[in-house]
Structure 1
């Protein structure tokens, strides 16, 4: 049978109309404006109780609360039915459940009412929620809304792969959010991509990959690839880039405080783009890259070698905490223990902008309580400083971390040091011989070659020798004298530009270094009277035994202690790496002179050294003659009556002065 071209065109038109009608009926729904909502109206709400099956419960409008919510009006309602009887009322995770009256979408279940049962709550109007699709991009909005009577139906954080210690660390870094976290599991259907639908479950993740951390709520409305959910803020960060995932509900867990949905966070299906007062909005099919964080961790004692990968959201407030929490958790898993240990960590932070420099840093840490937590402190601080600096937008594209941990205490005390010369000229090299005493180990020696800056003004200065993470003792005394806290010192430090800040992060001393540097003018604990009279090698004075170093935010060598003025000249120093965390410090007094005066002073000291050696030689010869004479007398027959005392007690003294000579200065 043949059909005319007109029939074919007619058939195509009919099919197209049918397709559009089916698509429209599947997605489009009429809205009921809040001004049309009346007391006594009844309807239904949709949510998931188990798996992916959407269930209904009854809704009855009690009234409208004018301008009570973070985005406008709220609708007060009573919820009932078998679902409410099963759950004991509205549960955390039901936030976003769509409410329909007369077939029209009114809004999303979003709030509870304090001091009442769980069947009373508030509905966020849908009109306010869909406005999220048209909000201009505004990154990192922080304006937490709160009401003492209205309680948001919280979306507790589901934590997959995290242990309790890691979650405690996470919450301690972000106490303002008052998170509730619950351990969850994976589901066999997590890898299956499922379309989002009103009343179904959705998850907004902060961490994805081998670890997952996010909130599970309910989808309110879907229009094509766009969706809105929750009905209240998650973090209220404004424009966002959370990872949007499918979710499957295991069960509703009843609680004396509030019931909550326990579920798995399934496959990633899109991105949450807005997080504001009326809820969250997202788009399907667009995957957020986030910030990949790759870990390579080794437990030297147990021979464990683990690699894992996560990605965290890019957010100036949360990224440092999320990355550090992931590292903390991975360390706990690799070690499979808590307590003391020594860690060596190397991390590289790579920016998106190729014109900006990546930062690579290696450091060592020891802790007698929690080596995992100690290891992540500096890591957290560096990411925080980079992302929140006041100069440029340093967007991170990748973080790579390598860590080795042992239970051994790899620390060493700085117990002694000597300088080849303390009378120098600008440009001279001072050889500092440092003696370290490792914990339960044999002493070892290290040489540090310190070059006096060529532009160093003439005069007396304090030369500091210390462990890389130690605060020089004179600085500690200055802090106490002027009651300077770490916060005050941080504010006193002024950076000229981002390069200045980046340079300090990159080059800040590490805990396993021996550092030799000239301290600021006017700070010295050295007994100058004693040091000028000595003809021996200058010995380290004031060795101080202090606790292990902290992190990069502590007071460092080139931070101002006084007026906080930005000084272009930084203290010159030399650092030598060791295999130990070096503890302790001490100081020399050095005299910086012109070449002519230096040579005169060294010549004078050399003459004094020769005289001293000659004097000691004469005394030694005299002692030898006295000893020989005494021996000769002892060998002669005794002519006098012997003493009644024990003859052995009549030996003459052979004491001789201590030889105080030593190698002369170069």
Structure 2
């Protein structure tokens, strides 16, 4: 068993010991220059790293002040020169945050430039605006913001990606287009595991993912006061109060680009946390680590035997957490199976909440894809995390996530071809026994046995039971949806949960694609009527009232039968993705009438799915064979019914079984 919490504590403890040794004597006292002191023609220098961890300097000349041009106030226009700038082709992304000194005073941080130029002219964010970040309340002190982000960040953000492949990065970009991420595949450095002190001009990374995979942006430290830093001089993602992971960074080289050059570097050891991401830059504290969300990913390729176990830590954020977690899983799956294309994926995951075990979510499911089984491995996890982080009831901090994934190229699916039920006359509280025949893809038929208990509050009359695969929407519901032009968006807007408990139950008990499900059809949904059967068609509630059965129980309150919280369906997990559906009618009567009917059942032909054949009265059963359309039931001879073989006759009359 993996001890997630112990792993997390050990990592924090080891890092904290290293940080205490590295940073115990660091302190910088600077004299600052205000914007009011700035004059055109002033000269000075800036500091940054262009290779490794060594800080270098280059000349700066002040051109003027740009009033109210920055996201947090004034910007200072400057020209940069010298051999280092000639070598790099100008100011590169990653130099943002480089401190600028005029007459021995700290003026601010290089922050902005223009694309498609030689980038030797740029803008400086004043240090006074950056220091204000230390006075902004932390993420823990601010009421959580639950709305979805809609603002766009107007600059491309290079992300150093270590251990991620191109496909997973493309998926992440598709989910977060507003951030204009530019992922860059990078190498690792020999010093990545060693924590070392920061100083003005040092490279620093604001990371979103760390551990066995790393993803973060690299910039430059502008100023340090004891254990607090400011850096970048411009926003990273402009998330406000946040908890990014603060890391050392090692610079390999400057990569020249037509649009904008950038520093290529590695995200090194975790050394602290970034608490603010605003217009004037980022601010944080080293020596104290951001908690983050440990994610453990197990992947097994059933075909090759290849397997992977990866541990990462993801930042906690309503918008980013679902995408980053799913991206990490997607990446591990890609690299484990080392192929593209279709197949079957089976997975199970547990999402634990910091709010207590009663808020934990556990699910399993199976998916098949002809095109990209890799994406199917993450779609559900992403959607569930997104729902949890944006739910309307409670803040949902995540303690950790554990996901296991098994993938094969085989098509592990099965189709329902027949089902029988006994008895077909029952009373509330009775148990009905089912045999469901599955035809696996390129396999031998299998019979699954199930039971269904009639709800105690089930009204008298015909109860239509749907036998279906877990991922199948019953055809009557699809017909009604089309008839009333109910789009998926409208249906989603009509769905409401009364509290978080109901939402949690919906997530956990929602049918898996490999489940066999037996449940009653809503009596208000119409059945197909092609003119060959005399069963009266019922309409959607509120559209056309149905005639009540003579045996119907009178409702308790004002014509409405109250719903209960109990489960009204039966499920059975299978090793296949189950397709197909059909219906069996069960007659619900009083116990006295049930006993009387069953006593003379050998004189009746009720419940037989065989059309045009001599009835076999050895069982009191109803059978249904699925031909892909609701109510279009193929006839079969007795031998075919007992052998679970599809021996359909040419007599293909439309029948909806009432069971009586």
TM-score range, shorter-chain basis?
0.7 to 0.9
Measure how far apart 1:24 and its partner are: 11
Q: Which structure: larger Rg?
A: 1
Map of 2:255 onto structure 1: 253
Asked if 1:379 corresponds to 2:376, the answer is: no
1:153-164 equivalence runs, <5 A:
154-164=156-166
- 2:365 aligned to which of 363, 366, 391: 363
Map of 2:464 onto structure 1: 462
Map of 1:406 onto structure 2: 408
- 2:573 aligned to which of 548, 573, 577: 577
Equivalent pair of 1:271/1:288 in contact (CA under 8 Å)? yes
1:88-117 CA-partner distances (Å, limit 9, x unpaired): 221111111111111111111111236654
1:134-153 equivalence runs, <5 A:
134-138=135-139, 152=155
Map of 2:222 onto structure 1: 220
Question: 2: CA distance between counterparts of 1:410 and 1:306?
Answer: 22
Question: 2: CA distance between counterparts of 1:454 and 1:466?
Answer: 23
Question: 2: CA distance between counterparts of 1:100 and 1:83?
Answer: 17
1:29-44 equivalence runs, <5 A:
29-44=30-45
Asked if 1:101 corresponds to 2:102, the answer is: yes
Q: 1:616 to 1:422 in 2, by over 3 A?
A: closer
- Give the length in aligned residue pairs: 566
Equivalent pair of 1:247/1:266 in contact (CA under 8 Å)? yes
Measure how far apart 1:599 and its partner are: 4.4
Measure how far apart 1:486 and its partner are: 2.0
**Which stretch shifts more, 350-359 or 461-470?**
350-359
2:358 alignment partner, SS class? coil
Equivalent pair of 1:155/1:217 in contact (CA under 8 Å)? no
1:199 alignment partner, SS class? coil
Question: 2: CA distance between counterparts of 1:353 and 1:340?
Answer: 38
1:382-410 CA-partner distances (Å, limit 9, x unpaired): 12222221111221111111122221110
Question: 1: CA distance between counterparts of 2:48 and 2:639?
Answer: 89
Map of 2:133 onto structure 1: 132
Asked if 1:587 corresponds to 2:588, the answer is: no
**Which stretch shifts more, 580-589 or 503-512?**
580-589
Measure how far apart 1:297 and its partner are: 1.7
Measure how far apart 1:235 and its partner are: 1.2
Measure how far apart 1:419 and its partner are: 2.4
Equivalent pair of 1:427/1:451 in contact (CA under 8 Å)? yes
Question: 2: CA distance between counterparts of 1:126 and 1:79?
Answer: 18
Q: 1:25 to 1:344 in 2, by over 3 A?
A: closer
Task: Give structure 1 regions of 4+ aligned residues with deviation exceeding 6 angstroms.
Answer: 23-26, 140-147, 528-533, 658-663
Map of 2:621 onto structure 1: none
Question: 2: CA distance between counterparts of 1:659 and 1:320?
Answer: 53
1:250-305 CA-partner distances (Å, limit 9, x unpaired): 00001111111100111111111111111111111111231111122211211123
1:408 alignment partner, SS class? coil
Q: 1:595 to 1:252 in 2, by over 3 A?
A: same
Equivalent pair of 1:59/1:78 in contact (CA under 8 Å)? yes
Question: 1: CA distance between counterparts of 2:149 and 2:127?
Answer: 21
- TM-score, normalization: structure 1? 0.80
Question: 2: CA distance between counterparts of 1:232 and 1:449?
Answer: 63
2:181 alignment partner, SS class? coil
Question: 2: CA distance between counterparts of 1:449 and 1:530?
Answer: 31
Q: 1:99 to 1:338 in 2, by over 3 A?
A: same
Map of 1:74 onto structure 2: 75
1:30-69 equivalence runs, <5 A:
30-69=31-70
**Which stretch shifts more, 23-32 or 367-376?**
23-32
2:39 alignment partner, SS class? coil
1:298 alignment partner, SS class? strand
Map of 1:268 onto structure 2: 270
Aligned CA RMSD, in angstroms, stands at 3.0
Question: 1: CA distance between counterparts of 2:222 and 2:199?
Answer: 8
Map of 1:651 onto structure 2: none
2:199 alignment partner, SS class? coil
Question: 2: CA distance between counterparts of 1:70 and 1:527?
Answer: 65
Map of 2:322 onto structure 1: 320
2:359 alignment partner, SS class? coil
Measure how far apart 1:146 and its partner are: 6.6
Measure how far apart 1:26 and its partner are: 6.2
Map of 1:180 onto structure 2: 182
> Any unmatched runs of 5+ in structure 2?
1-23, 536-561, 615-636, 643-658
Q: 1:382 to 1:124 in 2, by over 3 A?
A: same
